[in-house]
Amino acid sequence: MRFKYFDHTADVLFESYGKTLAEAFENAGLAMFNILTDIDKVKPEKEFSIEVISDSDEKLLYDFLEELIFLMDTEGILISKFSNLKIKKENNFILTCKAKGDLALNYETHGDIKSPTYNQMEIKKKDKNYVIKAVVDI
């Protein structure tokens, strides 16, 4: 299972899972786009490079999701695949990846995502896996 949704009063709450922190971040991005459409149907026609630098892992998650929303808003893109997602810890946390997707106008979508939130955000290592909990404002 890559991600799961939970009831939330006004926004969308989800958990994403991964064997690595990078995989859990990928699945968080996919869970967010899956709110709008069935991402399994979105073709990886266009590729974008993403780099995010933040001073904590939670801020990195927030900034990553926010960068994806910015890409959706400015380019009209739905992301359906990530490749080479890497997270390095130096002085800051650095995330780099390739994001692939297609124009949203080619798919039936519903709703809108305004922004990620820090509300209920968690990044945990549970046994040998990572679990991310995130809420996005719709």
Domain that holds residue 26: 3-137
How many domains are contained in the chain? 1
Q: pLDDT tens digit string along 3-13?
A: 999 987 879 99
Q: pLDDT tens digit string along 65-115?
A: 999 999 999 999 999 999 999 999 989 999 999 999 999 999 999 989 999
Is-contact 131 105, C-beta < 8 A?
A: no
pLDDT of the residue at 9:
80
CA nearest to 50, candidates 84, 100, 99, 94: 99
Alpha helices per DSSP H over the chain: 21-34, 57-75
Structure tokens of 9? Answer: 């009063």
Q: pLDDT tens digit string along 20-30?
A: 999 999 999 99
Can you give the CATH number for the domain in which 37 is found?
Answer: 3.55.10.10
Question: Could you tell me the pTM of the whole model?
Answer: 0.95
